[in-house]
Protein backbone atom coordinates (compact mmCIF):
# COMPACT_ATOMS: atom_id res chain seq x y z
CA UNK A 1 0.00 0.00 0.00
CA UNK A 2 1.43 3.39 -1.00
CA UNK A 3 0.31 6.60 0.70
CA UNK A 4 1.23 10.24 0.13
CA UNK A 5 0.66 12.83 2.87
CA UNK A 6 0.71 16.51 1.92
CA UNK A 7 0.81 19.78 3.86
CA UNK A 8 2.02 23.35 3.76
CA UNK A 9 2.21 25.26 7.03
CA UNK A 10 4.12 25.65 10.26
CA UNK A 11 5.56 22.88 12.43
CA UNK A 12 2.08 22.30 13.87
CA UNK A 13 0.98 21.29 10.36
CA UNK A 14 4.03 19.14 9.61
CA UNK A 15 4.84 17.19 12.78
CA UNK A 16 1.42 15.46 13.03
CA UNK A 17 1.84 14.17 9.47
CA UNK A 18 5.24 12.77 10.39
CA UNK A 19 3.60 11.01 13.34
CA UNK A 20 0.98 9.53 11.02
CA UNK A 21 3.64 8.57 8.48
CA UNK A 22 5.65 6.69 11.12
CA UNK A 23 2.55 4.74 12.19
CA UNK A 24 1.60 3.96 8.59
CA UNK A 25 5.09 2.64 7.98
CA UNK A 26 4.83 0.45 11.09
CA UNK A 27 1.66 -1.01 9.59
CA UNK A 28 3.51 -1.90 6.40
CA UNK A 29 2.67 1.05 4.15
CA UNK A 30 5.09 2.82 1.83
CA UNK A 31 4.68 6.48 2.76
CA UNK A 32 6.10 9.85 1.75
CA UNK A 33 5.38 13.36 3.04
CA UNK A 34 5.12 16.45 0.83
CA UNK A 35 5.95 19.46 2.99
CA UNK A 36 7.66 22.85 2.77
CA UNK A 37 11.47 22.59 2.64
CA UNK A 38 12.24 24.54 5.83
CA UNK A 39 15.41 23.32 7.57
CA UNK A 40 13.39 22.45 10.70
CA UNK A 41 11.08 20.18 8.73
CA UNK A 42 13.88 18.57 6.72
CA UNK A 43 15.57 17.65 9.99
CA UNK A 44 12.31 16.43 11.53
CA UNK A 45 11.55 14.07 8.65
CA UNK A 46 15.14 12.86 8.49
CA UNK A 47 15.06 12.02 12.21
CA UNK A 48 11.89 9.99 11.66
CA UNK A 49 13.31 8.30 8.57
CA UNK A 50 10.39 9.47 6.41
CA UNK A 51 11.10 10.60 2.83
CA UNK A 52 10.41 14.30 2.21
CA UNK A 53 9.14 15.63 -1.10
CA UNK A 54 9.70 19.43 -1.00
CA UNK A 55 6.51 21.39 -1.67
CA UNK A 56 6.37 25.14 -2.37
CA UNK A 57 8.45 27.86 -0.71
CA UNK A 58 9.69 27.67 2.87
CA UNK A 59 7.18 28.80 5.46
CA UNK A 60 9.91 30.75 7.24
CA UNK A 61 10.36 32.95 4.15
CA UNK A 62 6.66 33.86 4.26
CA UNK A 63 5.92 34.33 7.96
CA UNK A 64 9.21 35.11 9.74
CA UNK A 65 9.28 38.77 8.78
CA UNK A 66 8.94 41.98 10.82
CA UNK A 67 5.31 42.32 9.73
CA UNK A 68 2.59 39.66 9.35
CA UNK A 69 1.84 38.58 5.78
CA UNK A 70 -0.47 41.07 4.05
CA UNK A 71 -3.53 40.41 1.91
CA UNK A 72 -1.34 41.11 -1.11
CA UNK A 73 1.07 38.43 0.07
CA UNK A 74 -1.82 35.98 0.46
CA UNK A 75 -3.11 36.60 -3.06
CA UNK A 76 0.41 36.04 -4.40
CA UNK A 77 1.03 32.89 -2.33
CA UNK A 78 -2.30 31.14 -3.06
CA UNK A 79 -1.79 30.52 -6.81
CA UNK A 80 1.87 29.70 -6.17
CA UNK A 81 0.84 26.90 -3.81
CA UNK A 82 -1.82 25.62 -6.21
CA UNK A 83 0.79 25.38 -8.96
CA UNK A 84 3.28 23.70 -6.62
CA UNK A 85 0.73 21.07 -5.64
CA UNK A 86 -0.19 20.21 -9.22
CA UNK A 87 3.46 20.10 -10.30
CA UNK A 88 4.82 18.21 -7.29
CA UNK A 89 1.99 15.86 -6.37
CA UNK A 90 1.26 14.68 -9.90
CA UNK A 91 4.66 13.00 -9.91
CA UNK A 92 4.90 12.09 -6.21
CA UNK A 93 1.43 10.50 -6.09
CA UNK A 94 1.94 8.30 -9.16
CA UNK A 95 1.17 4.73 -8.15
CA UNK A 96 -0.22 5.70 -4.73
CA UNK A 97 -3.40 4.28 -3.26
CA UNK A 98 -4.36 7.32 -1.15
CA UNK A 99 -3.53 11.00 -0.92
CA UNK A 100 -4.20 12.88 2.34
CA UNK A 101 -4.04 16.66 2.55
CA UNK A 102 -3.94 19.14 5.39
CA UNK A 103 -2.40 22.51 6.22
CA UNK A 104 -3.14 25.85 4.58
CA UNK A 105 -6.17 25.42 2.25
CA UNK A 106 -4.71 22.54 0.18
CA UNK A 107 -6.39 23.48 -3.09
CA UNK A 108 -5.03 21.26 -5.83
CA UNK A 109 -4.52 18.04 -3.87
CA UNK A 110 -7.96 16.52 -4.43
CA UNK A 111 -7.68 17.42 -8.09
CA UNK A 112 -4.45 15.50 -8.54
CA UNK A 113 -6.04 12.53 -6.77
CA UNK A 114 -9.04 12.79 -9.07
CA UNK A 115 -6.85 12.82 -12.17
CA UNK A 116 -4.80 9.85 -10.96
CA UNK A 117 -7.87 7.92 -9.79
CA UNK A 118 -6.81 7.49 -6.15
CA UNK A 119 -8.52 8.05 -2.81
CA UNK A 120 -8.44 11.52 -1.27
CA UNK A 121 -8.85 12.55 2.36
CA UNK A 122 -8.86 16.04 3.85
CA UNK A 123 -7.77 16.30 7.48
CA UNK A 124 -7.59 19.24 9.89
CA UNK A 125 -6.29 19.83 13.40
CA UNK A 126 -9.29 21.90 14.53
CA UNK A 127 -12.72 22.79 13.15
CA UNK A 128 -12.10 26.53 13.07
CA UNK A 129 -12.33 26.76 9.27
CA UNK A 130 -15.16 24.28 8.71
CA UNK A 131 -18.62 25.71 7.91
CA UNK A 132 -20.95 25.88 10.90
CA UNK A 133 -24.40 27.26 11.55
CA UNK A 134 -23.30 27.90 15.14
CA UNK A 135 -20.19 30.03 14.58
CA UNK A 136 -19.11 32.70 12.11
CA UNK A 137 -16.00 32.13 9.96
CA UNK A 138 -12.63 33.51 10.91
CA UNK A 139 -10.87 36.36 9.17
CA UNK A 140 -9.58 35.63 5.67
CA UNK A 141 -7.90 37.89 3.07
CA UNK A 142 -10.33 39.45 0.63
CA UNK A 143 -13.53 41.48 0.70
CA UNK A 144 -14.80 41.51 4.30
CA UNK A 145 -18.39 40.75 5.22
CA UNK A 146 -20.59 43.73 6.19
CA UNK A 147 -20.23 44.59 9.86
CA UNK A 148 -23.99 44.33 10.39
CA UNK A 149 -24.28 40.83 8.88
CA UNK A 150 -25.01 38.29 11.62
CA UNK A 151 -26.51 35.32 9.76
CA UNK A 152 -23.87 32.58 9.95
CA UNK A 153 -25.14 30.95 6.77
CA UNK A 154 -24.59 34.16 4.85
CA UNK A 155 -21.20 34.72 6.49
CA UNK A 156 -19.99 31.26 5.52
CA UNK A 157 -21.21 31.77 1.96
CA UNK A 158 -19.14 34.95 1.83
CA UNK A 159 -16.20 33.02 3.27
CA UNK A 160 -16.47 30.58 0.36
CA UNK A 161 -16.41 33.55 -2.03
CA UNK A 162 -13.18 34.77 -0.43
CA UNK A 163 -11.62 31.32 -0.87
CA UNK A 164 -12.70 31.35 -4.51
CA UNK A 165 -11.08 34.75 -4.97
CA UNK A 166 -7.82 33.44 -3.55
CA UNK A 167 -7.64 30.04 -5.24
CA UNK A 168 -10.41 29.68 -7.82
CA UNK A 169 -8.77 31.04 -10.96
CA UNK A 170 -5.52 29.15 -10.44
CA UNK A 171 -7.25 25.91 -9.45
CA UNK A 172 -9.62 25.85 -12.42
CA UNK A 173 -6.84 26.80 -14.81
CA UNK A 174 -4.79 23.81 -13.70
CA UNK A 175 -7.85 21.55 -13.74
CA UNK A 176 -8.58 22.56 -17.32
CA UNK A 177 -4.98 21.81 -18.28
CA UNK A 178 -5.40 18.17 -17.17
CA UNK A 179 -8.88 17.77 -18.64
CA UNK A 180 -11.00 18.26 -15.51
CA UNK A 181 -14.13 20.46 -15.34
CA UNK A 182 -14.13 23.60 -13.15
CA UNK A 183 -15.31 23.68 -9.54
CA UNK A 184 -17.52 26.52 -8.32
CA UNK A 185 -16.80 26.26 -4.58
CA UNK A 186 -13.11 25.65 -3.88
CA UNK A 187 -13.48 25.50 -0.10
CA UNK A 188 -16.18 22.84 -0.03
CA UNK A 189 -14.43 20.94 -2.83
CA UNK A 190 -11.25 20.77 -0.73
CA UNK A 191 -13.03 19.75 2.48
CA UNK A 192 -15.17 17.05 0.90
CA UNK A 193 -18.14 15.49 2.67
CA UNK A 194 -16.35 13.84 5.57
CA UNK A 195 -13.19 15.60 6.77
CA UNK A 196 -11.03 14.06 9.47
CA UNK A 197 -10.33 15.91 12.70
CA UNK A 198 -6.92 15.08 14.19
CA UNK A 199 -7.54 16.61 17.62
CA UNK A 200 -8.15 15.10 21.02
CA UNK A 201 -11.86 14.99 21.92
CA UNK A 202 -11.20 16.33 25.41
CA UNK A 203 -9.39 19.39 24.07
CA UNK A 204 -11.42 20.05 20.92
CA UNK A 205 -14.73 18.14 20.87
CA UNK A 206 -16.24 17.92 17.39
CA UNK A 207 -19.89 17.72 18.38
CA UNK A 208 -21.81 20.86 17.41
CA UNK A 209 -18.73 22.46 15.85
CA UNK A 210 -19.49 22.08 12.15
CA UNK A 211 -22.22 21.19 9.69
CA UNK A 212 -19.97 18.56 8.07
CA UNK A 213 -19.82 14.88 8.98
CA UNK A 214 -16.48 14.93 10.81
CA UNK A 215 -14.48 11.80 11.67
CA UNK A 216 -12.47 12.50 14.84
CA UNK A 217 -9.38 10.33 15.12
CA UNK A 218 -7.62 11.90 18.08
CA UNK A 219 -4.42 13.94 17.84
CA UNK A 220 -1.55 12.68 15.68
CA UNK A 221 1.43 12.63 18.02
CA UNK A 222 4.98 11.84 16.92
CA UNK A 223 6.74 10.06 19.80
CA UNK A 224 9.96 11.84 20.78
CA UNK A 225 12.58 9.97 22.78
CA UNK A 226 15.42 12.47 22.41
CA UNK A 227 17.18 13.33 25.66
CA UNK A 228 17.18 16.91 26.87
CA UNK A 229 20.48 18.78 26.45
CA UNK A 230 22.83 18.24 29.38
CA UNK A 231 22.91 21.96 30.19
CA UNK A 232 19.11 22.09 30.34
CA UNK A 233 19.03 19.00 32.54
CA UNK A 234 21.46 20.69 34.91
CA UNK A 235 19.31 23.82 35.00
CA UNK A 236 16.16 21.83 35.73
CA UNK A 237 17.91 19.93 38.54
CA UNK A 238 19.27 23.12 40.12
CA UNK A 239 15.99 24.40 41.53
CA UNK A 240 12.20 24.35 41.55
CA UNK A 241 10.36 23.63 38.28
CA UNK A 242 10.60 26.66 35.97
CA UNK A 243 7.94 28.21 33.72
CA UNK A 244 8.40 27.53 30.01
CA UNK A 245 7.79 30.38 27.55
CA UNK A 246 7.66 29.81 23.79
CA UNK A 247 5.74 31.21 20.81
CA UNK A 248 6.84 28.81 18.08
CA UNK A 249 6.50 30.19 14.56
CA UNK A 250 4.70 33.38 15.63
CA UNK A 251 7.66 35.58 14.68
CA UNK A 252 5.65 38.24 12.86
CA UNK A 253 3.03 38.50 15.61
CA UNK A 254 5.24 38.39 18.69
CA UNK A 255 5.75 41.70 20.50
CA UNK A 256 9.37 42.90 20.54
CA UNK A 257 9.49 42.99 24.33
CA UNK A 258 7.69 39.68 24.91
CA UNK A 259 10.81 38.04 26.39
CA UNK A 260 11.28 40.85 28.91
CA UNK A 261 7.58 40.95 29.80
CA UNK A 262 7.48 37.18 30.25
CA UNK A 263 10.62 36.97 32.35
CA UNK A 264 9.57 39.83 34.61
CA UNK A 265 6.09 38.37 35.10
CA UNK A 266 7.49 34.93 35.93
CA UNK A 267 10.09 36.36 38.29
CA UNK A 268 7.30 38.23 40.07
CA UNK A 269 6.00 34.79 41.05
CA UNK A 270 9.40 33.69 42.29
CA UNK A 271 9.80 31.24 39.44
CA UNK A 272 12.66 30.42 37.10
CA UNK A 273 12.32 30.56 33.30
CA UNK A 274 13.00 28.33 30.30
CA UNK A 275 12.74 30.58 27.23
CA UNK A 276 12.30 28.99 23.79
CA UNK A 277 13.83 31.18 21.10
CA UNK A 278 11.44 30.11 18.31
CA UNK A 279 11.18 31.87 14.97
CA UNK A 280 11.03 35.24 16.75
CA UNK A 281 14.57 34.50 18.03
CA UNK A 282 13.71 35.47 21.61
CA UNK A 283 16.64 35.90 23.97
CA UNK A 284 17.41 36.39 27.64
CA UNK A 285 17.30 39.92 29.03
CA UNK A 286 20.23 39.60 31.43
CA UNK A 287 22.81 37.12 32.73
CA UNK A 288 21.03 36.06 35.90
CA UNK A 289 21.13 32.32 36.53
CA UNK A 290 17.36 31.93 36.93
CA UNK A 291 16.75 31.84 33.16
CA UNK A 292 17.78 29.39 30.46
CA UNK A 293 17.27 29.80 26.69
CA UNK A 294 16.69 26.82 24.40
CA UNK A 295 16.29 26.20 20.70
CA UNK A 296 14.29 23.31 19.29
CA UNK A 297 13.83 20.86 22.17
CA UNK A 298 11.86 17.73 23.07
CA UNK A 299 8.72 19.22 24.61
CA UNK A 300 7.41 15.78 25.51
CA UNK A 301 10.38 15.36 27.86
CA UNK A 302 10.47 18.97 29.07
CA UNK A 303 6.84 19.82 29.82
CA UNK A 304 6.31 17.26 32.62
CA UNK A 305 9.15 19.02 34.46
CA UNK A 306 7.89 22.62 34.31
CA UNK A 307 5.51 24.54 36.56
CA UNK A 308 3.53 25.97 33.63
CA UNK A 309 3.71 26.48 29.86
CA UNK A 310 3.21 29.97 28.40
CA UNK A 311 2.59 29.71 24.65
CA UNK A 312 0.66 30.93 21.61
CA UNK A 313 -2.04 28.27 21.52
CA UNK A 314 -0.98 26.11 18.60
CA UNK A 315 -2.66 22.72 18.46
CA UNK A 316 0.58 20.80 18.97
CA UNK A 317 1.90 22.76 21.94
CA UNK A 318 -1.53 22.80 23.59
CA UNK A 319 -1.88 19.03 23.25
CA UNK A 320 1.67 18.30 24.40
CA UNK A 321 1.26 20.46 27.50
CA UNK A 322 -2.12 18.88 28.26
CA UNK A 323 -0.66 15.36 27.94
CA UNK A 324 2.14 16.36 30.31
CA UNK A 325 -0.30 17.64 32.93
CA UNK A 326 1.35 21.08 32.78
CA UNK A 327 -0.87 24.11 33.51
CA UNK A 328 -1.00 26.53 30.58
CA UNK A 329 -1.18 30.25 29.88
CA UNK A 330 -2.26 30.74 26.27
CA UNK A 331 -1.49 34.08 24.63
CA UNK A 332 -3.33 33.60 21.31
CA UNK A 333 -2.25 35.40 18.17
CA UNK A 334 -4.20 34.23 15.10
CA UNK A 335 -6.72 31.79 13.60
CA UNK A 336 -7.68 28.86 15.86
CA UNK A 337 -5.50 29.96 18.78
CA UNK A 338 -8.18 31.96 20.67
CA UNK A 339 -10.41 28.86 20.58
CA UNK A 340 -7.65 26.71 22.07
CA UNK A 341 -7.11 29.36 24.74
CA UNK A 342 -10.80 29.43 25.61
CA UNK A 343 -10.92 25.64 25.84
CA UNK A 344 -7.92 25.53 28.20
CA UNK A 345 -9.65 28.02 30.48
CA UNK A 346 -12.97 26.16 30.21
CA UNK A 347 -11.31 22.90 31.26
CA UNK A 348 -9.71 24.62 34.24
CA UNK A 349 -6.19 23.60 33.20
CA UNK A 350 -4.86 27.10 32.64
CA UNK A 351 -5.65 30.67 31.70
CA UNK A 352 -6.54 32.41 28.44
CA UNK A 353 -4.76 35.74 28.07
CA UNK A 354 -6.88 38.43 26.42
CA UNK A 355 -5.00 39.78 23.42
CA UNK A 356 -1.62 38.91 21.95
CA UNK A 357 0.39 41.70 23.61
CA UNK A 358 0.70 40.93 27.31
CA UNK A 359 2.00 43.31 29.93
CA UNK A 360 3.87 42.26 33.03
CA UNK A 361 0.67 42.82 35.00
CA UNK A 362 -1.66 40.93 32.62
CA UNK A 363 0.67 37.97 32.22
CA UNK A 364 1.34 37.85 35.96
CA UNK A 365 -2.42 37.70 36.59
CA UNK A 366 -2.77 34.80 34.14
CA UNK A 367 0.13 33.02 35.82
CA UNK A 368 -1.62 33.38 39.18
CA UNK A 369 -4.36 31.15 37.79
CA UNK A 370 -2.00 28.70 36.08
CA UNK A 371 0.27 28.29 39.09
CA UNK A 372 -2.55 27.71 41.57
CA UNK A 373 -2.50 24.22 43.14
CA UNK A 374 -6.04 23.51 41.99
CA UNK A 375 -5.09 24.25 38.38
CA UNK A 376 -2.19 21.79 38.52
CA UNK A 377 -4.42 19.16 40.09
CA UNK A 378 -7.00 19.64 37.36
CA UNK A 379 -4.30 19.54 34.66
CA UNK A 380 -3.08 16.20 36.01
CA UNK A 381 -6.61 14.83 35.91
CA UNK A 382 -7.23 15.96 32.33
CA UNK A 383 -3.85 14.58 31.26
CA UNK A 384 -5.13 11.12 32.06
CA UNK A 385 -7.98 11.52 29.56
CA UNK A 386 -5.87 12.53 26.55
CA UNK A 387 -5.86 9.76 23.95
CA UNK A 388 -2.57 8.42 22.62
CA UNK A 389 -3.93 6.26 19.78
CA UNK A 390 -4.74 8.99 17.24
CA UNK A 391 -2.14 7.95 14.69
CA UNK A 392 -3.20 4.31 14.96
CA UNK A 393 -6.88 5.18 14.43
CA UNK A 394 -6.05 7.41 11.45
CA UNK A 395 -3.53 5.03 9.87
CA UNK A 396 -5.86 2.04 10.02
CA UNK A 397 -8.73 4.13 8.69
CA UNK A 398 -6.61 5.50 5.85
CA UNK A 399 -5.39 2.06 4.82
CA UNK A 400 -8.96 0.78 4.92
CA UNK A 401 -10.09 3.75 2.82
CA UNK A 402 -7.33 3.14 0.30
CA UNK A 403 -8.30 -0.50 -0.11
CA UNK A 404 -11.97 0.15 -0.83
CA UNK A 405 -13.35 -0.72 -4.24
CA UNK A 406 -15.31 1.65 -6.43
CA UNK A 407 -14.63 5.13 -7.82
CA UNK A 408 -12.21 7.36 -5.90
CA UNK A 409 -13.90 9.87 -3.66
CA UNK A 410 -13.31 12.02 -0.63
CA UNK A 411 -13.35 9.98 2.55
Task: Tell me the per-residue pLDDT of 71-85, one tens digit each, with 9 for 90 and over.
Answer: 999 999 999 999 999
One domain, residues 197 and 252: no
Task: Confirm whether 35 is domain-assigned.
Answer: yes
Domain that holds residue 302: 230-383
Residue 52 contacts residue 24 (beta carbons within 8 Å): no
Task: Confirm whether 373 is domain-assigned.
Answer: yes
SS3 377: helix
Task: Confirm whether 29 is domain-assigned.
Answer: yes
Residues 101-110 have pLDDT tens digits of: 999 999 999 9
Residue 154 contacts residue 135 (beta carbons within 8 Å): no
One domain, residues 111 and 173: yes
One domain, residues 247 and 176: no
Whole-Å CA distances, 53 to 31, 85, 174, 372: 11, 11, 20, 46
With residue 370 as reference, give the H or E element that holds it.
helix 360-370
One domain, residues 214 and 76: yes
One domain, residues 254 and 309: yes
Task: Confirm whether 411 is domain-assigned.
Answer: no
Give the pLDDT confidence score for residue 411 in this predicted structure.
45
Task: Confirm whether 409 is domain-assigned.
Answer: no
Q: What is the CATH number of the domain that holds 262?
A: 3.40.50.2000
pTM of the model: 0.95
Residue 35 contacts residue 58 (beta carbons within 8 Å): no
As for how many domains the chain has, the answer is 2
One domain, residues 234 and 375: yes
Task: Confirm whether 105 is domain-assigned.
Answer: yes
Give the pLDDT confidence score for residue 408 in this predicted structure.
57
Close Cβ partners of 87 (under 8 Å, ≥ 6 residues apart): none
Task: Confirm whether 186 is domain-assigned.
Answer: yes
Report, as ranges of residue numbers, the positions in the chain whose pLDDT lies below 50: 409-411
How many Å is the maximal CA-CA distance in the chain?
66
What is the DSSP-derived secondary structure letter of residue 254?
S
One domain, residues 315 and 362: yes
Give the pLDDT confidence score for residue 63 in this predicted structure.
86
One domain, residues 208 and 256: no
One domain, residues 269 and 191: no
In this structure, the number of other CB atoms found within 10 A of the CB of residue 363 comes to 23
Residues 281-298 have pLDDT tens digits of: 999 999 999 999 999 999
Task: Confirm whether 408 is domain-assigned.
Answer: no
With residue 309 as reference, give the H or E element that holds it.
strand 308-311
Q: Strands across the sheet with 2-6, in order?
A: 52-54, 30-35, 2-6, 98-101, 119-124, 196-197, 215-216
Amino acid sequence: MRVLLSTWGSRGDVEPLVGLAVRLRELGADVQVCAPPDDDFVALLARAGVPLVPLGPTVHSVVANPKPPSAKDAFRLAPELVAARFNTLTTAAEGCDALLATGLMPAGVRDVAEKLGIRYVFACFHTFGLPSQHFPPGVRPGTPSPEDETDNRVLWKQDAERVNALYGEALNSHRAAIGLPPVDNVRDHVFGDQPWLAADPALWPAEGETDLDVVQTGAWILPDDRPLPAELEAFLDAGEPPVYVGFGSMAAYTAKDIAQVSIEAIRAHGRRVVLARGWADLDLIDDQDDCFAVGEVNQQALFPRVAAVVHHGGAGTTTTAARAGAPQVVVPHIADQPRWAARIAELGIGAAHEGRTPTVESLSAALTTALAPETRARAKTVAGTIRTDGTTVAAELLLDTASQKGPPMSA
